[in-house]
Homo-oligomer: A and B are copies of this chain.
Amino acid sequence: MKLVPLGDRVVLKQCVAEETTKSGIVIPGQSKEKPQQAEVIAVGPGGMVNGKEVEMHVTTGQQVIYSKYAGTNVEIDDEEYIIVKQDDILAICE
C-alpha cells in the first residue's frame, strides 16, 4: 500500500540505524532518543493550502531534519511513517 499525501503534506520515514558500542554491543536504534532526521518518502502536490499557495521544496529520497513533536505517526503494513506539513521540515541534509 502506498501513501499519497494531500496538499503540503510530506511522508517521512525515520532513519533508525543500529549502533555498535566500542565493546561491540549492538544497541538497536529504537532505544535511543527519537532522532529528528528522516527520509522523504512521498511529497504532496502543494497548491492552495488553507487559502495560501504553497510550493513544495523537498523531493523523495532527501534526508531532512523535521520539527520535534510535529506530524502524525502512521503505521502501514508494519512500517511506521510520519506525515508532516512541509513547514515542519527545518532543513535538508546534504
Binding site for B on A (CB under 8 A): 1-7, 9, 11, 36, 42, 44, 48-55, 57-58, 65, 67-68, 72, 74, 76, 83, 86-87, 89-94
Residue from A7, A36, A72, A92 having most chain B Cβ neighbours under 10 A: A72
A14–chain B nearest beta-carbon distance, Å = 14
Find chain B residues with CB under 8 A from A53 CB: 48, 51
Given B49, B51, B58, B83, which contacts A91 in the complex, CB threshold below 8 Å?
B83
B94 touches A1 (CB 8 A): yes
Bound complex: CA A11 to CA B65 (Å)? 12
Residue from A2, A57, A74, A76 having most chain B Cβ neighbours under 10 A: A74
